[in-house]
A and B are shown apart, each in its own frame.
Chain A
Amino acid sequence: MKSMLKQTAAVLVLGLLALGTAEKAHAGGTAAGTTVTNTATLNYTVGGVGQTSQSNSASFTVDRKINLTVSHADGAIVTINPGQATASLKFTITNTGNSKMSFKLSSVDLAASSTTPFAAPNNLSNKTTASAGAYTDLAKSSQVVASLVPDTPTTVYIIVDNLPLSLADGDILAYALKAQAVYEDGTTVITNNLLDTSNHYGATVNVYNVLADDKDAYNDDSKNDGIGADRDAFKVLAPVLSITKNATTISDPVNLTTNPKNIPGATVEYLVTVQNAGSIAANGVTITDSLPTASVTYVNAWTSPDNATWTAVPAGSYVAPTLTVIFGTINGSGGKMYLKYDVTIN
């Protein structure tokens, strides 16, 4: 009994494997317009003499099954930066019907509460100024995938140009791509269960158009509407810089360094702290500090202590009344740089 069970299991696995292979080879199915014919033969004898009767041909025509899959092809959320010139979301469209089919593309700029494969809910405060469009193969002239052959995936993109500088760190910009089955002209929408009497897509006989698609995971389209859809999203990565300035009196002419007071002639040390709380490094950071020269005098060369986050030694100069220091890059996620200098009170 035990061995029999084992055998059954082995056969089942084999059957499944083979079935999987067979279905893959014919995912789109028998081509629309194909005639399927059935004829049976009856053999018999009467008085020992062989006779044959042939049946009529029972036949029917295979209709046009219209189906597609649209799926995001980015493995992770696509990161962008404020002010980026152009960015794209990648999708794959596959014709899973049994006839060539053209698909008209459109993109939907999704609302702030939308769910995406990567992030939910969204934080979409500033994205409305970005312009979005769906294009095939980054060629901005075309928004139709023309006469797509069954089972051959094609890649399309939603391209967003001129990302605004106002995008904030962590913002999610979510879009849905929709692809709708149309005739070869790229515009005529195909109606469900209507007979195609104009022999579209190379059909040689009249076939019914049957919209066999399901709704997508986010309800961006409906069942049997000839539309496939999926979502994808951008995530904004931006530095978030903060600057603080502290003054400490370190000596005065009377008390020297013991409990010094801010009297004329006293030395005051300024500490400027620049912190980047954002997700990514800030590049080209320059500090300019304009001194109130009527009341203070810049005394000694500036220093930049705690250089743990430096990627280059800061460079700077003092041209009265302004001290300019080029920090260069400050790393994200809490990277800090300091600027220290002394003044005397006039």
Chain B
Amino acid sequence: MNHLSMKKIAAALLLLAVCATSGLAADNSLKLVSKAEKEVTVTRDGKKEAKLVPVEKALPGEVVLFTNHYTNTGSTPAEEAAITNPVPQHMVYVDGSAFGAGTTITFSVDKGKTFDLPANLTKTVKGKKRPARADEYTNIRWTFTSPLPPGKEGDVGFKARLK
């Protein structure tokens, strides 16, 4: 074993140690930033276009876009990552509005106890089972289909209507 290879092993060990440390401690190297926006129509150069603006005025019936921006600020991949978001109080989930690249989107109708795809969700009312409606979803979960490498960032989100 020459000097150079010793150095390599040391470096590899060090890297391993760093990995182990970051894995054990709650480093919160995945950052999550939530924002609430709504779509307004603005006229620019005589053309009407949709624009997202922070929610300043909100009235019953209005649709709000909630976006969660995630960033892996750490140096290791995040595995089995999933973002959960309760549908905010006073709001109703807008059917089909949830989005998130590279994720499987599931919903809950029991306040987050269980999650499933919309087609599998049921609601039992007065002893009768029926398909659950989108306005009955209580929580949304985005499960990432593959690990998030360091530096990876993206958006998941949904729309909800103010009751």
Give the residues in chain A near B74, CB-CB below 8 Å: 46
Give the bracket for the number of chain B residues in contact with chain A: 35 or more
Which residue from chain A places its CB closest to the CB of B35 in the assembled complex?
Answer: A58
Q: Select the stretch in A18-26, A115-123, A266-274 that faces chain B.
A: A18-26
Size of A's binding interface in residues, CB under 8 A: 44
B77 CB, nearest partner CB in chain A, Å: 8
Q: What are the residues of chain B within 8 A of A28 when measuring CB–CB?
A: 60
B32 touches A63 (CB 8 A): no
Residues of A contacting B78 in the complex (Cβ-Cβ under 8 angstroms): 44-46, 51
Asked whether A18 lies within 8 Å of B133 as measured between CB atoms, the reply is: yes
**Which chain A residue has the least Cβ–Cβ distance from B90?**
A30
Q: Which of B78-132 contact A (CB under 8 A)?
A: 78-86, 88-91, 130-131
**Chain A residues, CB < 8 A from B131:** 11
Count CB-based A-B contacts (< 8 Å). Answer: 139
Cα of A29 to Cα of B92 in the assembled complex, Å: 12
Q: A26 vs B92: C-alpha distance in the bound complex, in angstroms?
A: 12
The reply to whether A57 and B34 contact each other, CB–CB distance below 8 Å, is yes
Among the listed A47, A51, A52, A98, which residue makes an inter-chain contact with B60, where contact means beta carbons less than 8 Å apart? Answer: A98
Closest A residue to B24 by beta carbon equals A49
Question: Which 10 A/B pairs are nearest by Cβ-Cβ distance?
Answer: A29-B60, A47-B23, A44-B81, A60-B55, A44-B78, A55-B32, A55-B34, A58-B34, A40-B85, A40-B68
Q: Is there contact, CB below 8 Å, between A36 and B79? A: no
B27 at the interface (CB under 8 A from A): yes
Does B33 contact A15, Cβ atoms closer than 8 Å?
no
A210 touches B57 (CB 8 A): yes
Could you tell me if B70 and A36 are in contact, using CB atoms closer than 8 angstroms? no
Does A53 sit within 8 A of B, measured CB to CB? yes
Known: A38-B66, A48-B23, A210-B59. A53 touches B76 (CB 8 A): no
In the assembled complex, the Cα of A210 lies from the Cα of B56 at a distance in Å of 12
| Chain B, Cβ-Cβ closest to A212 | B59
In the complex, A46→B74 CA distance in Å?
A: 10
CB distance from A182 to the nearest CB of B (A): 20
